Homo-oligomer: A and B are copies of this chain.
Amino acid sequence: MNEGTNSNLFGLTKLYKVTILVITVVVILKQISTRFSMAVHILSLITTSTNEVTGDFIAGSVNTNPVVIRRIMGMLKKAGLLDVRPGVGGAFLLKAPEDITLLDIYHAVHVIEGNRLFGVHQDSNVRCQVGRNIESILQFELNEAQSAMEQRLAQTTLSKLIARFE
């Protein structure tokens, strides 16, 4: 920081004493990766745009680095949702937006591991009644909860989502 010339920082002068109150609020969110929402954004753009849709163009709309976009597009390609013209550029859907659900996109970007939203601890002590039973019985309940979420995601298609844009 350039001392000596600090007298006009923020247009203020050094006539007065300093009181700076710095409040730092750190909000830690442990969440499903934004890769998912970015992927929805990407597919929405491809669906609605009439022009060529390049990685750079999408990056401008998502407001991030083009490489981040291409990485996600690579996942969407592997899932068979879109394809990209190499060299010349431009992406297009491989399925109708009526046939692409949020669940399809969710799965495509591998936002969770092994299709298991909930991690369950392993290697419980089998000599204990709880230890013997907890993993499988709890896993069943958690699968049910995960299914409930995924079924809701499956109800919304890309075209339904876009229809609500204003």
Interface residues of A (CB under 8 A from B): 1, 3, 6-34, 36-38, 40-41, 44-45, 48, 60-64, 102, 111-114, 116-121, 123-125, 128-135, 137-138, 141-142, 144-153, 156, 161, 164-166
Chain B nearest CB from A157 CB (Å) reads: 11
In the complex, how many angstroms separate the beta carbon of A134 from the nearest chain B beta carbon?
5
Report how many copies the assembly holds: 2
State A112–B112 Cα separation when bound (angstroms). 14
Whether B31 contacts A63 by the Cβ 8 Å rule is no
Contact yes or no, A113 B29, CB < 8 A: yes
Interface centre among A25, A31, A102 (most CB of B within 10 A): A31
Are the C-beta atoms of B27 and A27 separated by less than 8 Å?
Answer: no
Docked CA distance A26–B30 (Å) = 7
Whether the Cβ atoms of A166 and B21 lie closer than 8 Å is no
Chain B neighbourhood of A124, CB < 8 A:
41, 61-63
